[in-house]
Structures are given as structure tokens and as C-alpha cells.
Amino acid sequence: MAEQIKLQIVQGRLPAGTQLPTVRELARTLGVTRVTVQMAYHELQNAGLVEATVGRGTFVSRHVEARPPAQSLGRQLTPDAVVNDILQLGQIAGLRSLADAAPDASLFPAQEFWQALDECRGEALEMVRYGASQGDPLLRVEVARLLQDRGMAVTPDEVLIVAGVTQGLALVAQALARPGEPVLVEQPTYLGFLHTLKAHGVQPLAVPLDEEGPIPEAVERLAIQQRPRFFYTVPTFQNPTGVCATPARRAQLLALAEQYGFLLVEDDLYARLSYEGPPPPAVKSLDRSESVIHVGGFSKLLMPGLRLGYVVAPPPIHERLLSLRRAMDLCSPPLLQRALARFLHEDGLKRHLRRVLPLYRQRRDALLAALRHHMPPAVQWTRPQGGFCVWLTLPRRSTLADLQQAALQQGWAFAPGEVFLTRPSPDYHLRLCFGAQPPEWIAQGVEVLANLIRERLDRQESVIEPPSDWLPLV
């Protein structure tokens, strides 16, 4: 029932401000129980589609009028607008998304996590007090233990719990760079961090990537010319390309950081989503000079709604991040931290990954197979060994301008490439994510997209050139 009403709202048949029938009326009209109607209204409210105003009734949200999702999506190509679009996608009826570098919500270990939560019940009073800004000691013990797999020997005291990688990076950006100062980012890079840098007024400079990782010569040139405060890198199964930096590149980057006195900010969020054997050790595991800040979290591995991640930083930076955390929001909720600690202690993460990695590998394979099968020859793409992202490169054509809107009209969302870039690319790019859809849907989505692309590439040009600039990737 909720789905029916949702469709009517999204399609404009129930315009904003329309009063919905009361629960009692609708239950009678449809011959269902009131509980059924209540649940449907509840779900619509949860999706932000209707609003209940106490004493007045339930109305189609004015939000819907202000920004009808399917029409506002993709209209603005700023990182913030696209982050916002991606967060909204799940709420749009009839739309399938390859836009979000996220796990499949239907695979979340929610019930197992709930057991861990139940086990905290005896500590209920303790769990609703302020927690330590550094994070729950038991969670820090578990994170330190997990980091052994990444080649890192850290004590719980060195771990700082944060509200997800997003907050970890926001703290790092604010602690290390003042407005106007330059920092290095990969080209392309995680768009959420571009938004964060913009919010802080920090200037990102582009380090091109190739299939072995960030290009050291470019890093060195920028380090000399611009004296950046840090280089933000996702060395392992990068978002948005899926590229995994080789061990040689990792060592080169670290040597450059030491030589030129900048910090490496290593985002390790995707590293455990490895489909061809264990991932390379973290760059932080090679760090003998306190040059690396390591950031990771559980949004891609377990459940993003926990909003929990961690930072391991050299001691003076650790103290500054901790002080900033107190200025931002004091601490993460102790209850969720403790429940996660219990879940990890009982090896819940390992069990979960054993279950989902084969599924994600299958989806990655389905996406790559569908690309090979459907895409016209002018399209090229990365072949990730982990993570959730494949990065496509096409020759730039004016006819591609409406690709995203055309795909949305056919019920498919992807992330346009531009928003991951800090300087323009001669080519057209897009990011496809395979984590959240089953293989058959992935194949179908790629086919729809391939047809739209072929149509547009064929339209004006008789000879299709390969992308101008395949290595580096953008």
C-alpha cells in the first residue's frame, strides 16, 4: 500500500499538501486493518513523503513539491548536491541505483547486531551517559585487534573513534589545513571529501591516478610547487575507480611524504572488501616516521547507520583531533560503540564478510561481464579487485550531456564522473557501483545504459575516437 501511495506522490498524482484520508477511513475503504494503514503511513513518513501534523492529519509533504526527487536529481553537479542525491535515491520508488558505493542493505547483519545490543542491556544506564571523546575503550581494543590484519601494530590508546570516515576526514581537514591552504587529492577522488574540503575552504589539487595508483612524479611536482599540508589517498580499492595502489607505489608515496614533509591521509574504508585474496597491507603499516594518518570505518563493511569509524594518527595530531572532536559533538553514542565492540569481539565481522564477499565478487563479475557484452568499443573501464566501484571513461560528446537524465527516466541511477574531479577531464566519466544490486539487475542496468550511450555516441559523430587520455585514468 505504501508503495502505491508513494508512486502516486512521485508521479504527481497526489500533489504536495494533499490531505490523506485518516487511518480509520482508509482502513474501511480498502477493507484492511488499521495497523496495516498505520504501517504504510509510517513508512511514507519515514521516506519523507508525507507529514503528520498533530491534530490536523496526514499530508503529502511540501518537501516533495519543493524538490520532486526524480526531477531535481542530477540537476546540480556539485559534490554536495550529488551526496544529497545519492542519500535520497533509496527513497524513490521504481528507481534502481548503481550510483552508491555502498553495500546491499538487505545483507546487513542487523539481527546479529541486535543480539550484541541486547547484551548491553545490563549496562543500560552506563550506555546513555556521555562517553569518552576518544571512544569506548572496549571498541578501541577491538579496532586495535582488527588493525593487525592490516599489518598495523597499534594499542587501544592510539585509536580514536569517530562518527564514520566522513567525520574522521572532516576532523583531519580542519586540524591540518587552514582555509585557502592547498592539499592533494587523487583525480578522481571520493566526492564526500571534496564537499568537506569545500566546506572548510581548503583548496584540493589533483594528483592523477593510473592503474598502479597515484602517480609519484605528479605528487613530487605538486609537493615542490605547492607545499601541501597532506595528501588524501584511498590506496586500496579506491573510490571511485577501484584502483589498488601497488606495494611499490605505496613505498614511493611514503618516501615522498617523508622527503617533502607532508602527511599521507590514508582512507582504508574499502580494504577488506577484497575479492582476489588478501589486500596489500595499509600504508600506515610501513610508517616509521609518523607521516601517515590512517582512517577506516564500518559503513561499507557492516552497516552505515552505526556511524562509527576510527582514526590512528601520530600522537600530536591525535591530541588535536581529540580536542576538535570535543568542539564538534563531544563523543559518539556509547551504546552503539559498545554493541559494535561486542559484535566484533564475537567475530561478527569475519563471519559477515565470509558470507557477503562471495556475493559482492559475483556482482563485480556480473558488472564487468555486462560491460564487455553491451558497451560500445569507445567505452573503457577499470577492473577492480575489491571495493564497490567501476570507473568508466568515454569520449566527451555534447550528445552525452543528457545521459544521466535519460537513465533516470528509464529508472536507473549512476554517479556522473565530473563531481569526483578537481580539474576538468577531456573525457566523459561515470561511476558504476555493483554492491547494492543483484547480478540480474546489474546486467539489465548496464544494458539500458549501454543503449543510451551507443545512441548518443552514434548521433553526431561518424568516427568514434577512443578516449583521449586513458592513462592516467582521467
Nearer to its own copies, 200 or 396 (CB): 200
CB of 330 to its own copies, least distance (A): 5
Nearer to its own copies, 339 or 367 (CB): 339
CB of 421 to its own copies, least distance (A): 18
From residue 182, how far is each of 202, 258, 295 by CA, in Å? Answer: 6, 18, 20
8 A C-beta contact, residue 353 and residue 393: no
Enclosing H/E stretch for 444: helix 439-460
CB of 241 to its own copies, least distance (A): 22
Is residue 464 part of the contact set for its own copies (CB under 8 A)? no
Helices (H) and strands (E) in the chain, counts: 18, 16
- Identify residues 14-53 at the interface with its own copies (CB under 8 A): 42, 45-48, 51-53
Bridge partner list, 389: 433
8 A C-beta contact, residue 310 and residue 159: yes
Choosing from 1, 27, 30, 132, the residue that interacts with its own copies (CB under 8 A) is 132
Is residue 460 part of the contact set for its own copies (CB under 8 A)? no
Q: Which stretch binds its own copies (CB under 8 A): 148-156, 232-240, 353-361, 418-426?
A: 148-156
CB of 252 to its own copies, least distance (A): 31
CB of 463 to its own copies, least distance (A): 43
The position carrying cell 575516437 is 465
From residue 384, how far is each of 103, 247, 267, 442 by CA, in Å? Answer: 16, 16, 17, 16
Nearer to its own copies, 45 or 246 (CB): 45
**x-marked contacts with its own copies along 282-321 as a string, rule CB under 8 A:** -----------------x--xxxxxx--------------
Choosing from 129, 316, 462, 463, the residue that interacts with its own copies (CB under 8 A) is 129
Q: What 8-state DSSP symbol labels residue 274?
A: B
Nearer to its own copies, 336 or 370 (CB): 336
Beta strands in 337-384 (DSSP E): 380-381
Choosing from 98, 202, 243, 336, the residue that interacts with its own copies (CB under 8 A) is 336
8 A C-beta contact, residue 14 and residue 4: no
Is residue 323 part of the contact set for its own copies (CB under 8 A)? yes
C-alpha cell, 443 = 546486467
- Identify residues 165-184 at the interface with its own copies (CB under 8 A): 166-167, 170, 174, 178-179
CB of 113 to its own copies, least distance (A): 7
8 A C-beta contact, residue 456 and residue 416: no
- Identify residues 54-93 at the interface with its own copies (CB under 8 A): 54, 61-63, 80, 83-84, 87-88, 90
C-alpha cell, 421 = 574531479
Residues making up the chain, counted from first to last: 474
- Identify residues 369-428 at the interface with its own copies (CB under 8 A): none
Residue 75, judged by CB atoms within 10 A of its CB (0-12, 13-18, 19+), counts as: exposed
Nearer to its own copies, 128 or 471 (CB): 128
How many CB atoms are closer than 10 A to CB 19?
13
Task: Please tell me the number of Cα atoms within 13 Å of 93 on its side-chain side.
Answer: 18
Choosing from 329, 455, 458, 465, the residue that interacts with its own copies (CB under 8 A) is 329
- Identify residues 187-226 at the interface with its own copies (CB under 8 A): 192, 195-196, 198-200
Asked, as a colleague might, if the bond just before 21 is cis with ω within 30 of 0, I would say no
